[in-house]
Amino acid sequence: MQQDIEQSSFHTAVVGGGFAGLAVAYELAKAGKSVVVVEADSQVGGLAGGFNVEQQTLEKFYHHWFNNDLDIMRIISELGEEDKVVLRPTRTGMYYSNQFFRLSTPLDLLRFNALPFHDRIRLGIAVLRAKRVKDWKTLESLTAKEWLIKLCGQRAYHVVWDPLLVGKFGSVANDISAVWFWKKLVLRGGSRSSSGDEVLAYFRGGFAALAERLAAEIVRLGGRVMVSTTARKVLTSDGKATGVELADGEVVRSDNVVLSTAFPISADLLEGSVPETFLSQLRRIRYLANVCLVLTLDRSLSDTYWLNVNDPGFPYVGVIEHTNFEPPSSYGGRHIVYLSKYLPTDHPMYNMDDDALVEFSLPHLKKMFPEFDKTWIVDAHVWKADYAQPIAERFYSSLVPGNNTPLANVYLTSMAQVYPEDRGTNYAVKEGRRLAKMMLEP
């Protein structure tokens, strides 16, 4: 460990090597500041970290960009990696009442016979009305349920939106802010081709490859990136941070500290150094965990990339067949399927071992895809994250803390702060770079 901390002090120590933390460090390093990134995992990237499938890196948790995610594209351009970005139209669908519906274009919506025709028209108009909302703060007093019923009607809400909200957020579905859902509608509606198809972007080699490229650039600019290194606490003296103590007892000295971690982790790192009222504010923000089952198959399940599941009996909110987006040829001809579930950490599914979760999931897949057989599975991986989804409730903007802390030289940047946007690498980069520029201001 001693050899990794070659200099006595850094301008900034960044705790957390996700895209927000990497973006902060990159921006500061570009300005000539000495930086060190401290990451507990064995690799950088956070929720966009990867693992190997057929000599190719694949995300542990499914990832893509919309074609209007400009901030991530700017940093990719700066890194000279534009040729690795691919844009492709994708097929979106819905599984409802034992039927598959394609929902990729406006014409698909008109064919969605799970709703009466006038409800389909109203649903389409609702998306257009959502786009006309200019001030999201006018929606902060409403839950997503209240707003969507008003916008689309009770029947469309019951068929389309309620199963998705409950499937994703479970027992807290009725707490979700209208602002969160509004942004989802606007974002997806703005990522379409002239024909109405949704167009998404991907990075050749996987998002983890981009995170590693960004980390390498930080090192090239004179910074340090320390993986498999856990921070224990922020050290302070006379009301200012002096650095970060690591789990092995080593100390990273720095003039500034950036915590790019989930708020409960940030609170633990700051325990005893800031007032309890601030720690309570950090811990007030609730999160859901995620369990993601990634199946490597020898054949395809369907021709749909993103299948929303509006069936309360199915344990996952979506079936994402990644190789209907990035082709199977990238993975030795294998087909990659993600099964994703957001849930509290005490949920039985979150606490199953890997083999038990696979066995639990198979009958549900068989019911949805009758031809599916366990022999199709070449490999299975289970990934879990305790802090996967901040719960954006009503008046969230008044609950979530800003970048500053009671310590003048300690800052926060995390996916919980990108509101009214939702989590994602694009907004993580945007927020990280914005914080770095703020720190560089005289």
Give 111-165 pLDDT, tens digit per residue.
Answer: 888 899 999 999 888 888 888 898 999 999 999 999 999 999 999 999 999 999 9
> pLDDT confidence of 3, banded at 50, 70, 90?
very low
User: Taking 50 as the threshold, does the pLDDT of residue 27 lie above it?
Assistant: yes
Q: What is residue 184's predicted lDDT score, i.e. its pLDDT?
A: 84
Neighbours of 328 (CB within 10 A): 18
Amino acid at 133: V
Q: What is residue 411's predicted lDDT score, i.e. its pLDDT?
A: 98
CB-CB contact of 223 with 25 (8 Å)? yes
Q: What is residue 196's predicted lDDT score, i.e. its pLDDT?
A: 55
User: Taking 60 as the threshold, does the pLDDT of residue 79 lie above it?
Assistant: yes
> pLDDT confidence of 67, banded at 50, 70, 90?
confident
> pLDDT confidence of 1, banded at 50, 70, 90?
very low
Residues 17-33, mean pLDDT to the nearest whole number: 98
Mean per-residue pLDDT over the chain, rounded? 93
Residues 384-402, mean pLDDT to the nearest whole number: 96
- What is residue 101's DSSP assignment? E
Beta strand 35-38 pairing with 10-15 = parallel
Confirm whether pTM is higher than 0.85. Answer: yes
User: Which CATH code is given to the segment(s) 287-390?
Assistant: 3.90.660.20
CB-CB contact of 197 with 204 (8 Å)? no
149: Cβ contacts below 8 Å, ≥ 6 apart: 157
Q: What is residue 351's predicted lDDT score, i.e. its pLDDT?
A: 97
User: Taking 60 as the threshold, does the pLDDT of residue 193 lie above it?
Assistant: no
Q: At what angle do helices 178-189 and 144-152 cross, to 10 degrees?
A: 50
CB-CB contact of 71 with 429 (8 Å)? yes
Give 200-250 pLDDT, tens digit per residue.
Answer: 999 999 999 999 999 999 999 999 999 999 999 999 999 999 999 999 999
> pLDDT confidence of 186, banded at 50, 70, 90?
confident
User: Taking 60 as the threshold, does the pLDDT of residue 194 lie above it?
Assistant: no
Q: What is residue 106's predicted lDDT score, i.e. its pLDDT?
A: 78
Q: Which residue has the higher pLDDT, 294 or 192?
A: 294
User: Which CATH code is given to the segment(s) 2-63+206-285+396-440?
Assistant: 3.50.50.60
Long-range contacts of 131-140 (CB under 8 A, 24+ apart): 131/185, 131/186, 131/189, 131/190, 133/182, 133/186, 136/179, 136/182, 136/183, 136/420, 137/179, 137/397, 139/177, 139/178, 139/179, 139/182, 140/177, 140/178, 140/179, 140/394, 140/395, 140/396, 140/397
CB-CB contact of 205 with 84 (8 Å)? yes
Residues 296-324, mean pLDDT to the nearest whole number: 95
Residues 381-406, mean pLDDT to the nearest whole number: 96
Coil, strand, or helix at residue 364?
A: helix
d(CA 174, CA 161): 12
Q: What is residue 2's predicted lDDT score, i.e. its pLDDT?
A: 35
Give 318-377 pLDDT, tens digit per residue.
Answer: 999 999 999 999 999 999 999 999 999 999 999 999 999 999 999 999 999 999 999 999
User: What is the phi/psi pair of residue 207, to 5°?
Assistant: -65, -30
User: Taking 90 as the threshold, does the pLDDT of residue 386 lie above it?
Assistant: yes
